[in-house]
Chain A
Amino acid sequence: MIEIFTLAFLMLISVTSVIAAFKAIIEKDMVRAIVYSAIQSAMYALIFYVLMAPDIVLVYIPVSVGITPAILLFVTKKTERRDGD
Chain B
Amino acid sequence: MELPTLVASVIVVSLYVNLGIALYGIFARPSLVKKLLAITILSDTANAFAVLVGYRWPRTGTPQPPVLMNTTNYNESIKYYIEHAVDPLPQALVLTAIVIGLAVTLFIAFVIIQYYRLYGTVNVRKTATSSR
Task: Find out whether A and B make contact in their complex, taking CB atoms under 8 A apart as touching.
Answer: yes
* A interface residues, Cβ below 8 angstroms from B: 3-4, 7, 10-11, 14-15, 17-18, 21-22, 24-25, 30, 33-34, 37, 40-41, 44, 47-48, 51-56, 59-60, 63-64, 67-68, 71-72, 74-76, 78-80, 82-85
B86, A51: Cβ atoms under 8 Å? yes
A83, B34: Cβ atoms under 8 Å? yes
> Interface on chain B toward A: helix, strand, loop, or mixed SS?
helix
B1 contacts A by Cβ under 8 Å: no
If A33-B34, A64-B98 are given as contacts, then 5 extra A-B residue pairs at C-beta distance below 8 Å, sorted by A number, are A7-B6, A21-B18, A24-B37, A30-B33, A82-B31
Which residue of B15, B44, B51 contacts A53 across the interface (Cβ within 8 Å)? B51
Encoded as 1 (CB less than 8 Å from any A CB) or 0, chain B from 27 to 46 comes to: 00111011011101100100
B52, A51: Cβ atoms under 8 Å? yes
B128 contacts A by Cβ under 8 Å: no
B38, A25: Cβ atoms under 8 Å? yes
Task: Give me 23 A-to-B residue pairs in the complex whose CB atoms sit less than 8 angstroms apart, sorted by A's number.
Answer: A10-B7, A10-B10, A10-B11, A14-B10, A21-B21, A21-B22, A25-B24, A25-B38, A33-B37, A34-B37, A37-B37, A47-B48, A51-B52, A52-B55, A52-B86, A53-B65, A55-B95, A60-B98, A75-B36, A78-B116, A80-B116, A80-B122, A84-B29
